[in-house]
């Protein structure tokens, strides 16, 4: 549960409106957890100033609940919202006991982050029980999904210290954002401040861990520049878990009388011991990958809003099954190398009339890979940049989408109807397959803060290059895979008034041709296969209370919340078949937390996370399969904040619990970190 701030229409917002400013309210969804407690009665000795502060909070909440939010390409009034969407604000990011976006997303109960490496080194993201390939990741509204594999989708060129907000759409978004948004979408928005500023975060902790992040904003009238750099490293909490990471990012915005021009360029590099990340049989894996992201977008100020966009993403990856060839098997002759280039362009137009708000657009995306493993044989091998080996395989494909959407408002009722038409290839030379993906969202304001909503949406996802072509000692791809498809039904109730908010929502996703890696005989390879049917059911429950909206800032407890998500996934696989991914979901997730003041400028943020997974783990010690044991995880941060500086001490896994997120990948025990943040306005 969280609050949107007042936003003007910007192209980087995932849920931007059609020429209207957005004052985004409480979104009643599964969001950041906070700890449930009863609030004490207001002190009769409260000062008049504190009473006025309380009044201002209440008035602000009424305002926020009356405004517009965006879960489609066109806006909808909050009380009429028909989708589950959440936003993590900048203040919440600053308060949370985390050092990466991946760790932050752990506190969204509808999202499962299966971390293979800590501090954002490597993590798979699952939304509502979907696989890590089924979630779309955007950077300021630009698609940065990697066609090689979803394992790389969270390789970001920017540190969490430079993030303004994170938006999460739970549920299918293909009709809005294209084929990649199968189970949901996550948009990462970087700093958009217009004020001249310099920020620094210096952190150190257990296991030789450190991170330094520096960023700055310079405004020269109608031109704003934002630059950030970061570097972090660790010796690792266990054998072969060391890492080194760096990011460089630039965002420039030019405002003119005809519209806004936005340029972003980002580069990130990670090198890390991968332990048993991808197979329990090989504990000395290592990986290094780099990512380059560039985009240029223009948004017009005309009555019909035109938004042309062009982008290019490059990713280069080296995977070592035996790190530095140490103790390598006789059959292991070289590492795996991959380089992907993605080129894309999008043109959208939006128009508001007395009949509602209409959006149309077209999107083109070209995905290309050079590899030593993935693709078909090349006529002439190519040199690998920075390496002594050669690329021997390649593949390319193109994807074209057009979309139409219209929002209709009738008093307390709203309807949003849309369709995406898609022409797609699985590989170069393949004939284009045509599909349409319609959807409808309906909502009704019942009055007095109550509303009801429902939606039906369809989605698709193409197989990745890894799905089709990978060949290794334990896994085998399949070039004959079909595209995944689904239809999702969703409905719920929500309440939002003043300081108390609550919601309940339920959904059912019916999947067809869902891609899984299946083992048909003990000890055999996991082969990429289309599962004919996959039925995913679930529901979300949420309650939040914000005491300071009733009692003013003298109340030390600022926010308390309880959220819970339940998932049940059923496939038509036989009992003899072993699933590697589609049944590797959370079954129960409960998020609790507390955000409060300790004394004057000293504060604390607590996050309690209960996770119950629906699959078994693998013991490396005795080579046995064991049921997953539910875990309680506690993270906390205590921080002193005054003027332009903040001192903090934080701990993840405070109870030092032994657990895994995925099969046999051991997670860190208690990890203590401390740091200093400076935020200087120039």
SS3 79: helix
pLDDT, residue 620, reads 53
Q: What is the DSSP letter of 614?
A: S
Q: Which residues, other chains included, contact 610 with Cβ-Cβ below 8 Å and sequence gap of 6+?
A: 588, 589, 590, 591, 592, 630, 631, 632, 633
Q: What is the pLDDT of residues 615-627, one digit of tens each?
A: 766 555 555 667 7
Neighbour-count burial of 381, counting CB atoms closer than 10 A to its CB (0-12 exposed, 13-18 middle, 19+ buried):
middle
Fold of domain 6-681: Maltoporin; Chain A (2.40.170)
Q: Give the residue ranges of the chain where pLDDT is below 50.
A: 1-12, 14-71, 75-79
CA Rg value for the chain? 24
> Cβ contacts of residue 468 below 8 Å, gap of 6+?
374, 395, 426, 427, 477, 478, 479, 481, 528
Backbone phi, psi, residue 42, to 5°? -70, 135
Residues 571-583 have pLDDT tens digits of 876 655 777 888 8
Q: Which of 161, 127, 321 is nearest to 232 (CA)?
A: 161
Domain definitions of the chain by residue range: 6-681
**Is the separation of the CB atoms in 310 and 293 below 8 Å?**
no
Task: Report d(CA 90, CA 87) in Å as an integer.
Answer: 10
Scan for tokens 């995913």, then name that residue. 536
DSSP states along 114-171? EEEETTTTEEEEEETT--TTSEEEEETTEE---SS-GGGTT--SS-GGGEEEEEEEES
pLDDT at 617: 66
């Amino acid at each position: 549960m969280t609050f949107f701030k007042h936003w003007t229409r910007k192209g980087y917002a995932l849920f931007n409106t059609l020429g209207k400013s957005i004052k985004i309210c409480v979104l009643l969804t599964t969001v950041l957890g906070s700890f449930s407690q009863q609030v004490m009665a207001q002190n009769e000795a409260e000062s008049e100033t504190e009473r006025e502060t309380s009044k201002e909070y209440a008035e602000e909440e009424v305002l926020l609940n009356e405004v517009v939010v965006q879960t489609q390409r066109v806006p909808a009034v909050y009380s009429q919202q028909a989708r589950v969407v959440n936003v993590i604000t900048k203040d919440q990011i600053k308060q949370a006991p985390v050092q990466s976006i991946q760790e932050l997303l752990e506190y969204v109960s509808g999202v499962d982050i299966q971390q293979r490496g800590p501090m954002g080194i490597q993590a798979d993201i699952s939304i509502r029980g979907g696989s890590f390939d089924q979630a779309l990741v955007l950077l300021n509204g630009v698609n940065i999904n990697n066609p090689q594999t979803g394992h790389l989708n969270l390789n970001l060129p920017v540190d969490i210290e430079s993030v303004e907000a994170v938006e999460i759409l739970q549920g299918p978004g293909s009709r809005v954002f294209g084929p990649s948004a199968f189970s949901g979408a996550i948009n990462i928005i970087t700093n958009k401040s217009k004020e001249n500023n310099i920020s620094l975060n210096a952190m150190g902790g257990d296991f030789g861990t450190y991170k330094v992040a520096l960023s700055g904003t310079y405004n020269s009238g109608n031109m704003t520049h934002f630059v950030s750099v970061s570097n972090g490293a660790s010796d690792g909490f266990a054998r072969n878990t060391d890492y080194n990471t760096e990011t460089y990012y630039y965002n420039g915005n030019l405002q003119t009388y005809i519209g806004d021009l936005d340029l972003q360029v980002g580069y990130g590099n990670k090198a890390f011991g991968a332990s048993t990340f991808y197979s329990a049989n090989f504990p000395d894996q290592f990986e290094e990958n780099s990512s380059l992201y560039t985009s240029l977008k223009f948004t017009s100020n005309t009555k019909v809003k035109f938004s042309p966009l062009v982008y290019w993403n490059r990713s280069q990856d080296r995977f070592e099954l035996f790190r530095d060839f140490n103790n390598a098997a006789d059959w292991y002759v070289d590492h795996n190398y991959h380089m992907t280039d993605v080129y894309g362009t999008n043109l959208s137009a939006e128009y508001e009339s007395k009949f509602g708000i209409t959006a149309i657009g077209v999107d083109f995306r070209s995905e290309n890979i050079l590899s030593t493993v993935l693709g078909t044989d090349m006529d002439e091998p190519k040199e690998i940049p920075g390496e002594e080996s050669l690329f021997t395989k390649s593949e390319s494909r193109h994807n074209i989408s057009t979309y139409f959407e219209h929002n209709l408002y009738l008093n307390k009722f709203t309807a949003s109807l849309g369709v995406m038409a898609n022409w797609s290839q699985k590989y170069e030379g393949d004939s284009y397959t045509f599909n349409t993906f319609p959807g409808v969202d309906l909502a009704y304001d019942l009055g007095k803060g109550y509303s009801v909503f429902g939606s039906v949406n369809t989605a698709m996802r193409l197989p990745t290059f890894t799905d089709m072509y990978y060949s290794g000692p334990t896994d085998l791809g399949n070039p004959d895979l079909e595209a995944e498809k689904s239809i999702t039904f969703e409905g719920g109730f929500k309440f939002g008034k003043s300081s108390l908010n609550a919601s309940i929502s339920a959904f059912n996703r019916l999947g067809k041709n869902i891609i899984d890696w299946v083992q048909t005989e003990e000890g055999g390879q996991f082969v990429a296969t289309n599962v004919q049917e996959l039925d995913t059911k679930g529901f979300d429950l949420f309650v939040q209370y914000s005491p300071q909206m009733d009692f003013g800032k003298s109340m030390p407890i600022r926010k308390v919340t309880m959220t819970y998500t339940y998932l049940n996934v059923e496939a038509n696989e036989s009992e003899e078949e072993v699933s590697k991914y589609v049944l590797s979901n959370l079954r129960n997730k409960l998020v609790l937390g507390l955000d409060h003041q300790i004394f004057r400028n000293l504060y604390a943020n607590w996050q309690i996370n209960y996770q119950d997974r629906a699959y078994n783990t693998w013991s490396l010690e005795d080579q046995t399969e064991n049921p997953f044991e539910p875990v309680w995880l506690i993270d906390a941060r205590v921080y002193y904040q005054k003027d332009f500086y903040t001192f903090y001490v934080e701990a993840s896994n405070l109870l030092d619990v032994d657990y895994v997120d995925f099969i046999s990948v051991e997670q860190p025990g208690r990890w203590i970190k401390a740091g200093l943040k400076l935020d200087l306005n120039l």
